[in-house]
Structure 1
Amino acid sequence: MTARAQAVLAPTRRVATHLGGYKFLSMGRTDKGCVRTLNEDALLERAEIGLWAVADGMGGHDCGEVASARVVEALSEVDSVGSAYAFRHGVCSALQEANSALLEQAAERMSGPIGATVVALLMYQGHYACVWAGDSRAYLCRNKEVRRLTRDHTVVQALVDSGALKQDNARGHRQANVITRAVGAHAQLELDSIHGRIQPGDRFLLCSDGLTAIMGDAEIGELMMRSPLQSAVDALISRALSRGAPDNVTAVVVTAEGPTAQDLTGDY
């Protein structure tokens, strides 16, 4: 089953022994938006092992849909292994392999880069980890407060970090879409990661920049907390479409329920 085909399925609710007694309800949806003729986003839902991802083919480059599909395919082959460290290592290794494959494909085609941004969410024994490259994002809503877990790998974010640009002016900047990291962009893929402990009721969002380019964090947080879960996903996509959605837009929402067991060892 393809990554995009999963977007129309009912919410998934499965339990694996390494999930620390938690149950996860998840739903994802992707849309080509109002301007693009092709959807270069892809998503992955593997609630049975505690792995979700969003990949966004790099706009303006050849075969963006090929790149995002290759990233999701690589992650679909990751095994649920015996430790949190091994799980995260498996995800990072899969992305490194996808990076090499996309570089080889670009060389064979004698074309420009074939690349995609990626953000992945992992769950293991009561802990979460996010791994990412590019400007696809992860958010966490806890106790009705939203927090962005990822930091964009973009020229604009670098300007903000250096103090040359105010955060309030970042979203509309003319270089807002210039990415500094992506799978398939460089010989050495640099990934960032963050981890923490899960709390019952936590809700996570993975999304492409088609959502965040036209919506602020506070608005995203309000929409992603809607119930039931399908309402949250539909509200996010519908709001983007109502504003003209100039890019493909993808959202995956994951809610943590439980735990029903207290074995929460295995920190990332």
Structure 2
Amino acid sequence: MIAHFRNGVFAFETGLATDRGCRREINEDSLIARPDFGIWAVADGMGGHAAGDFASAAIAEELDSIGVPVSHADLQARLMDRLIRANDAIRRRAEAQDSRATIGSTVVALLAQEAEWSVVWSGDSRAYLMRGGQLVQQSRDHSELRALIDAGQISEDEAKDFPRKNVITRAIGVTPRPQCDIVSGELLPGDRFLLCSDGLCEHLEDAEIAAILAERPPQDACDALIAEVLARGARDNVTVIVVACSPDFFDEVTRPSVRSE
């Protein structure tokens, strides 16, 4: 899928792809791309068949109802409102299901309104920004592994062989209210964002991801990333969204100026 959208300040080109991988029977990932609303998101469900996929789909369905915001603050507020709704729906499903398994879903969302962006996340699905040829992770994994690294109990090198890499410490649906973090910044021409489930980072290093993003348009980059993960065995579901930002020259006379530092 290739989608182009203008917001009066920037034009956005979107690519997206998802795959159940080589070992999973179903795909518990969900995604949504609504550039007309200024939102893109990836959700990675957990809880097994008919549970994890329900959790991630509930998030995508709620985010699809956000509508057109009047400001960036309004967009953030609408996002959190929808995550609360999804959180409640997932918890109701868990209560009704005759199982002790935890039902929930990670989420990572990119918001873009006029010349401002935000990333909101819960769990270990990631958001990256490529700017000036440098790929930098904007989210910070809510995981047991990340907590140990931050506490200085293990090193980044030791983390590569850590046995419990997929143990997350936050997710939508596992607490009475969503627990999310947020980072924000100014959009600049040439910015590229990558949203992904952990199935991508399990197999590809950041440098390998950066090389693919730098060389290809968004949809080609998504297809190439999925193909490479599948070639390496794809132990998990894998989902990617790439959003490329460029100046909107559609209305050169009236569009707001963009300051570049």
Per the shorter chain, which TM-score range? over 0.9
Matches within 5 A, 1:31-110: 31-58=19-46, 63-110=51-98
In structure 2, distance between residues paired with 1:59 and 1:227: 35
| C-alpha contact 1:20 1:263 (8 A) present in aligned 2 | no
Displacement, 1:119? 0.3
2:224 is matched by which residue type in structure 1? A
Matches within 5 A, 1:199-210: 199-210=188-199
Displacement, 1:203? 0.5
In structure 2, distance between residues paired with 1:195 and 1:222: 25
Displacement, 1:262? 2.1
Structure 1 equivalent of residue 2 of structure 2: 11
Matches within 5 A, 1:208-219: 208-219=197-208
Structure 2 equivalent of residue 5 of structure 1: none
In structure 2, distance between residues paired with 1:217 and 1:106: 35
| C-alpha contact 2:26 2:49 (8 A) present in aligned 1 | no
Deviation per residue, 1:221-267 (Å, 9 max, x gap): 111222232221111111101110000001100000104322569xx
**CA pair 60-166 structure 1, distance change in 2 beyond 3 A:** farther
Deviation per residue, 1:132-162 (Å, 9 max, x gap): 0000000010111100000000000000000
Matches within 5 A, 1:101-120: 101-111=89-99, 112-120=101-109
Q: 3-state DSSP class of the match of 1:225?
A: helix
In structure 1, distance between residues paired with 2:134 and 2:109: 21
In structure 1, distance between residues paired with 2:8 and 2:121: 24
Deviation per residue, 1:79-117 (Å, 9 max, x gap): 222121111011011111101111111111143322110
Alpha-carbon RMSD: 1.6
Structure 1 window deviating more from structure 2 (112-121 vs 152-161): it is: 112-121
TM-score (norm 1): 0.90
Matches within 5 A, 1:215-226: 215-226=204-215
Structure 1 window deviating more from structure 2 (224-233 vs 185-194): it is: 224-233
Percent identity (aligned):
42
Choose from 224, 245, 248 the match for 1:256.
245
Structure 1 equivalent of residue 216 of structure 2: 227
Residues 1:30 and 2:18 aligned together: yes
In structure 1, distance between residues paired with 2:68 and 2:168: 31
| C-alpha contact 2:47 2:103 (8 A) present in aligned 1 | no
Structure 1 equivalent of residue 252 of structure 2: none
Displacement, 1:74? 0.7
Q: 3-state DSSP class of the match of 1:194?
A: strand
Structure 2 unmatched runs, 5+: 250-254
Paired positions, count: 253
